Structure 1
Amino acid sequence: MRFLGLLLFGITFLFADLVDIYRTQGIDAVKEQLEKKLQEKSYWEKFLEDKNIDYGYYESTKFLIFVDKDTKELKVYKKVDNRFSEILKDSVIIGEKQGDKKVEGDLKTPEGVYKLTNKLTKLDPFYGPLALVTSYPNTFDKALNKKGHGIWIHGMPLNQQREEFTKGCIALDNPNLQNLDKTIDLEESLLLISKDEIKKSTKDEISLILSSIYKWKDAWKKSDIDAYLSFYSKEFKRYDGVELNSFAEYKKTIFSRKQDKTIIFSNINIIPYPNSLNKKMYKVLMDEVYRTNSYKFDGKKELFIELKDNKIEILSEG
């Protein structure tokens, strides 16, 4: 009860403070104060107090599919009331060779976070009754110049003996694959493939990322090029191969125009990112609304970030 009383007092005080700011300075000043609040790590720590973020932070993802290449297990978690609960578990077959996929035909299963982009039926009987298509190579894979395509979650051969390995895909028994397909929604699912068990996220990490996203957005909105570029890793590379120096020069040109910008982020998802680089990484996936007098964008924004020295460093974006 004491905590609830303090919380209500804090909310009442904040509201009164904002009303006074509105009365004396107008609505733009109120918006500025709210934007500053979103840049405070302490705000997000309080926001996350009653939330389970063991597997990351999600505003629009309902299903997480984990594939552990070491144990050769697939687990499916469903989000209910801000918590993910395990609903399916099965053994799988993966690529013949160990390690992270790098080139076409290396017989390795990739490591990372992928969307499920499509469901295929009427396949060669070798792949079973259906296949769920992954988004490999994703933006970060392309930045690392990884090659290959056609990484699926598929079934077992219908008319021949069960295989021992795949060429890089993930395969499971046909009844279990069909059950997986019936259970999940492709558009609300993410696939995490790791070499072993993924270390659980912490509220300290997630609150740092959320506050940093809004600091990065603030620098972007205000065309503060130095503050903006301070969020980028020296290793930054865009999906099309553009490295930090070229990216920075391009942004300096854009920012020099000092255009008024509207930038809104929603449906933010922060996903632990398995990788073979031994980095503490997350993928940030969110909806973005961007407006200037000469340009508008409504779509998805991806950031691939490393947590390093208690700050985020953007390794790639799309």
Structure 2
Amino acid sequence: MNLTHRSLGAAKALVALCCVAVCLGTAHANSQHKPQRAAAKPKAAKAAPARAAPPRVRDGEAEARLIEIYKLIGQAHTRAALAKAEVLVRDHPNFSLAQLVYGDLLTAQQRPVRNFGDVPDSAVRTGAQALAELREESQQRMRALRERPPAGAIPAQFLQLSPQNKHAIAIDASRSRLYLYQNDAAGPKLIADYYISVGKLGIEKAAEGDLRTPLGVYFVTSNLDPKSLKDFYGAGALPINYPNPYDARRGKTGRGIWLHGTPPEQFARAPKATDGCVVLANPDLERIIRTVEVRTTPVVIAPTLRWVAPAAAQADARHFNDVLQAWRNAKASGDVNRLLAFYTPDFAINGKTLAEAQPLLKVELGRMRGKDVELKDVSVLRWTDSADTMVVTFGEVPMGARTGVTKRQYWVRLGPQWKIFFEGVVG
């Protein structure tokens, strides 16, 4: 849902000027404006028919309704905005930001608003942090919806997705946003995006317990049953493979980085509110859990996503595929020295050093007896920070064989050359 710049500006201005009638969850307005409970009926009265179960909450639905309220505010339709806000907080009583906007709209019916959080000084002092977090959440949601990805663009990290990557996830920490892509014969297509929270101390995780969210290219490793988890994790959890081999090469530590939901009493969190995980509202996480595949779904977590045209990504992929094919040819040659030229001195293969791996490589090359190697379902994901790296996954099938193994390699650019610093079997 895209808003015009004029509507967005007006909406942001009103949110910035609104007064908080509901002081950070005390729900003053909500408690006074709830529908009155019907009086008890006489025992002889006919019982009312059972109510139908509430409809399933759709992913992204609450945010879309909140933005529609902002849009109405920007158009000066405050009464219509108030009516929609009342329904929204009734449907999502734990959506604190919606409660805030509802309270502001109620107060605006009585007197002009002066500033954001125009409440008694004592209330401001006790709730200043929560108020600031709600304001930041509002700004992040609006920013992400104002700064939409260009039509048809993809994250620059997605050089090449294979048919095995039916879905891919990209996270932009600067916008508190997760983008869900579907990949088919036509290429990656954005199908949904959601507000998310990251670590309390931000991003670039380096050590256990540093309250930061890692940056890099990861993969969903499992889907944890919510029945096995504490309520803290909400609708479930999708662990990712932090620390990956690139993290390990740089000495990064920690574990247990998940995409997970919120406790039942909470709808969303502040943009920086986790111990390092990526957290979504439960309806949004449920959609992702129902959609993505374990082991084959890449998860890119970036400070800021750079969007490129698919053709630009394909050009970079073709250039790197020339390097990958040269490695394949070296392996098919049976010449171990020619093959070793593609590896860094600190190379590791399934936990073994280069010196330890050499006998294994010789055995493998001897078994292939110079047969050509076919690389199937190649995916290439690029990550660039202090170094330029590639995460490459493919099926390796000796010519004439029906099946092979799925391997993942991590490449790093050393001057003009690409070298492999890690290789392992993933399936």
Which protein is richer in helix relative to its size? 2
Q: Deviations along 1:83-139, whole A, 9 cap, x unmatched?
A: 211111111101122342222212121122222122221121111111112122223
Matched, 1:230 2:307: no
The alpha-carbon distance between structure 1 residues 252 and 130, as it changes in their structure 2 partners (threshold 3 A), is closer
User: Which residue does the alignment assign to 2:192?
Assistant: 88
Matched, 1:194 2:302: yes
Look at both structures and tell me which one has the larger radius of gyration over its CA atoms. 2
- Alpha-carbon offset, residue 267 of structure 1: 1.2
Distance 2:396 2:170 in 1: 27
The alpha-carbon distance between structure 1 residues 259 and 76, as it changes in their structure 2 partners (threshold 3 A), is closer
- Alpha-carbon offset, residue 258 of structure 1: 8.6
Letter aligned with residue 192 of structure 1: V
The alpha-carbon distance between structure 1 residues 257 and 77, as it changes in their structure 2 partners (threshold 3 A), is closer
Matched, 1:303 2:409: yes
Matched, 1:260 2:369: yes
Confirm or deny: 8 A CA contact 2:336 2:362 kept in the other structure: no
Matched, 1:209 2:317: no
Distance 1:254 1:185 in 2: 34
Distance 1:53 1:71 in 2: 14
User: Which residue does the alignment assign to 1:288?
Assistant: 396
Confirm or deny: 8 A CA contact 1:229 1:248 kept in the other structure: no
State the identity %.
Answer: 25
Matched, 1:66 2:66: no
Distance 2:283 2:183 in 1: 23
Confirm or deny: 8 A CA contact 1:224 1:255 kept in the other structure: no
Distance 2:369 2:189 in 1: 44
RMSD of the alignment, in Å?
3.1
TM-score w.r.t. structure 2 length? Answer: 0.54
Distance 2:361 2:295 in 1: 36
Matched, 1:176 2:266: no
- Alpha-carbon offset, residue 191 of structure 1: 0.8
Letter aligned with residue 317 of structure 1: E
Confirm or deny: 8 A CA contact 2:155 2:305 kept in the other structure: no
Letter aligned with residue 217 of structure 2: V
SS of residue matched to 2:344: coil
Q: Say how many residue pairs are matched.
A: 260
Distance 1:128 1:283 in 2: 31
The alpha-carbon distance between structure 1 residues 316 and 252, as it changes in their structure 2 partners (threshold 3 A), is closer
User: Which residue does the alignment assign to 1:78?
Assistant: 182
Confirm or deny: 8 A CA contact 2:155 2:170 kept in the other structure: no
Q: Deviations along 1:278-298, whole A, 9 cap, x unmatched?
A: 22222101112359xxxxx94
SS of residue matched to 1:142: helix
Letter aligned with residue 83 of structure 1: G
Letter aligned with residue 91 of structure 1: Y
Confirm or deny: 8 A CA contact 1:107 1:168 kept in the other structure: yes
- Alpha-carbon offset, residue 169 of structure 1: 0.5
- Alpha-carbon offset, residue 163 of structure 1: 4.1
The alpha-carbon distance between structure 1 residues 206 and 289, as it changes in their structure 2 partners (threshold 3 A), is same
- Alpha-carbon offset, residue 214 of structure 1: 1.8
SS of residue matched to 2:290: helix
Distance 2:314 2:324 in 1: 15
**Structure 2: unaligned runs, 5 residues or longer:** 1-153
- Alpha-carbon offset, residue 82 of structure 1: 3.0
**Structure 1: unaligned runs, 5 residues or longer:** 1-51, 292-296
SS of residue matched to 1:70: helix
SS of residue matched to 2:213: coil
User: Which residue does the alignment assign to 1:20?
Assistant: none
The more displaced of 212-221 and 179-188 is 179-188
Matched, 1:219 2:325: no
User: Which residue does the alignment assign to 2:253?
Assistant: 147
Confirm or deny: 8 A CA contact 2:222 2:295 kept in the other structure: no
Confirm or deny: 8 A CA contact 2:237 2:261 kept in the other structure: yes
Confirm or deny: 8 A CA contact 2:159 2:314 kept in the other structure: no
User: Which residue does the alignment assign to 1:131?
Assistant: 237
The more displaced of 105-114 and 228-237 is 228-237
Q: Which has the higher contact order (CA 8 A, sep 6+)?
A: 1
SS of residue matched to 2:390: strand
Distance 1:111 1:155 in 2: 20
TM-score w.r.t. structure 1 length? Answer: 0.70
SS of residue matched to 1:75: strand
User: Which residue does the alignment assign to 1:115?
Assistant: 219
User: Which residue does the alignment assign to 1:272?
Assistant: 382
Distance 2:314 2:192 in 1: 26
Letter aligned with residue 168 of structure 1: G
The alpha-carbon distance between structure 1 residues 252 and 90, as it changes in their structure 2 partners (threshold 3 A), is closer
Pairing 1:40-55 to 2, within 5 Å after superposition:
55=158
